[in-house]
Amino acid sequence: MFSVDTARGFLPGKSIPPFFYDLRHKKSTVLLTGHSKIFSFSMKWQALLALNGFEIHNIDCAIRFNSYAIANEAIRNNVPPEFIANSITLVRGFTPYQILDAANDILRSFEKNRLFFILAPCKQFFDGDVSFDEGLFLLEKLIKVFRQIKAASIPLVIVEKESYSHPVFSSVYQKIKSLSSSVLVLRSGGASGLARTPEFKHGQVFK
């Protein structure tokens, strides 16, 4: 069992979830999912990882990346934010085609000792400007890229909430879950959000 006190912040070098070391050494694909605050939670994890020497590259698909949250987490650990500024990079995709290009870039320009996060990859494919058939076709292409990334042993963290109103999301979500080596689910006990302490058991997060 592994626990993180989200109210106090992290202790560098002591509180990294063990699966992150597995992710780097085993080169696996992990799905972080559940409550919508999983995006904020992933920022805290990224700060902690950077404080412990990891290099991270983000593909932000729906304006989920929050540099202030990362900076605040560094400060809460008594580390100047600029100490980790060069360890976390970001590219944003505002259309399905930009997201696909950014995901394919992982395959083309993978660097050792780097972890990749893709934030809310499905949302833009459900945009009203994207036709139903086109969105589904492009999502299948994205899932194919995820499988190629996994086959290439590139460490990837997919951060996505559990539900969208779009009718095909459920089937797409199941495909993402099935290709992931580990699935961590953040459950919220109420309006307090992440104020209480989640526990990690066998690849899932409970609250």
Tokens of 67: 């540099």
Please give the residue range of the domain that contains residue 7: 2-206
pLDDT (tens, 9 = 90+) of the chain, 207 residues, equals: 233 333 333 444 445 666 666 666 667 899 999 887 889 989 988 998 898 888 999 999 999 999 999 999 999 989 999 999 899 999 999 999 999 999 999 998 777 678 999 999 998 998 878 898 998 999 999 999 999 999 998 999 999 988 888 888 889 999 999 999 888 888 764 333 333 333 333 333 333
Rounded to an integer, what distance in angstroms lies between the CA atom of residue 195 and that of residue 193? Answer: 6
pLDDT at 8: 37
pLDDT at 23: 65
Rounded to an integer, what distance in angstroms lies between the CA atom of residue 114 and that of residue 121? Answer: 19
Q: Would the CA dihedral through 91, 119, 134, 101 be positive or negative?
A: positive
Query: DSSP class of residue 113?
Result: T
Number of H helices, E strands in the chain: 6, 9
Tokens of 70: 């990362």
Rounded to an integer, what distance in angstroms lies between the CA atom of residue 52 and that of residue 135? Answer: 38
pLDDT at 20: 64
Number of domains in the chain: 1
Rounded to an integer, what distance in angstroms lies between the CA atom of residue 162 and that of residue 35? Answer: 7
One-letter amino acid at 150 equals: K
pLDDT at 31: 92
CATH number at residue 144: 3.40.50.300
pLDDT at 35: 81
Tokens of 131: 């036709």
One-letter amino acid at 81 equals: P
**Within 10 Å of residue 191's Cβ, how many Cβ atoms?**
6
Rounded to an integer, what distance in angstroms lies between the CA atom of residue 121 and that of residue 59? Answer: 8
Q: Which residues contact 165 (CB under 8 A, 6 or more apart)?
A: none
pLDDT at 168: 87
Query: DSSP class of residue 63?
Result: S
Q: Which residues contact 7 (CB under 8 A, 6 or more apart)?
A: 195, 196, 197
Phi-psi region of 53 (alpha: psi -120 to 50; beta: other; left: phi over 0): left
